[in-house]
Amino acid sequence: MARRTKGGLTVIDHPLVEHKITLIRDRRTPTAVFRRLLRETAMLMAYEVLRDLELEDVAIDTPVCPMIARKLAGKKLCFVSVLRAGDGLLQGLVELVPSARVGHVGLYRDPKTLLPVTYYCKLPDDIRARTVIVVDPMLATGGSAADAVAKVKSEGARDVRFLALIAAPEGIETFRKAHPEVPVFIGALDQKLNEKGYIVPGLGDAGDRLFGTK
């Protein structure tokens, strides 16, 4: 898997990820295909986000002989979806790790101030014992991502990572200032934000495209 890491930011630039993000960006891509592509891209990106998970030895019997094999150690993963659009990535991650716990943080960005407004939060009780992956396709101003991660940390999570599909440089800067110790994984670093706070070239409004609400 191809990756470029600098200062806590990893751009996962595998050809399959880039190809799928191109299809996701395309305005002609219909809702059903957009959904499937988000799910598939999350699975591909998970490979990098989770590459350092700890393993432990377990004794098993294959049909041929006993062996000591390895599986994931201890209390494992928690995926936190930033509603609404985070659910598009969440689907793929849960398919990959069905035993993971799932939390939700509901946030929307006020269209005038561009500041995030929280309307919901439900996180697993044992979140502090888990590796937490917060997911949202878009890191634009960075306000929503920074608030969602602050919420997760305030519940005791210590090992937190953030996964987005597309980020703007402005959002990365804001997020890194707020949470310098939280690794960020993205599929593409775009040019800038426009006057409405949308990522350029981006993919438009991720929630609307995922749920077909506009």
Which of the listed partners (ligand PRP, ligand URA, none) does 136 bind, with a CB threshold of 5 to 8 Å by partner kind? ligand PRP
Tell me whether residue 136 is one of the annotated catalytic residues. Answer: no
Q: Which is nearer to ligand PRP, 183 or 197 (CB)?
A: 197
Q: Which is nearer to ligand PRP, 39 or 84 (CB)?
A: 84
Least spacing, CB of residue 33 vs ligand URA, in Å: 17
* Interaction mask 81-120, ligand URA, x per CB under 6 A: ----------------------------------------
- Selected binder of ligand URA within 78, 140, 186, 188 (CB under 6 A): 140
Tell me whether residue 178 is exposed, middle or buried, using C-beta atoms within 10 angstroms of its C-beta: 0 to 12, 13 to 18, 19 or more: middle
Tokens standing for residue 22: 């191109």
Residues whose CB falls within 8 Å of the CB of residue 164, separated by 6 or more in sequence, listed in order: 135, 136, 137, 138, 139, 145, 184, 185, 186, 187
Sign of CA dihedral 12, 15, 18, 23: negative
Q: Tell me: cis bond preceding 158? Omega within 30 of 0 counts.
A: no
Which of the listed partners (ligand URA, ligand PRP, none) does 139 bind, with a CB threshold of 5 to 8 Å by partner kind? ligand PRP
Helix (H, G, I), strand (E, B) or coil at 56: strand
Q: Which is nearer to ligand PRP, 11 or 85 (CB)?
A: 85
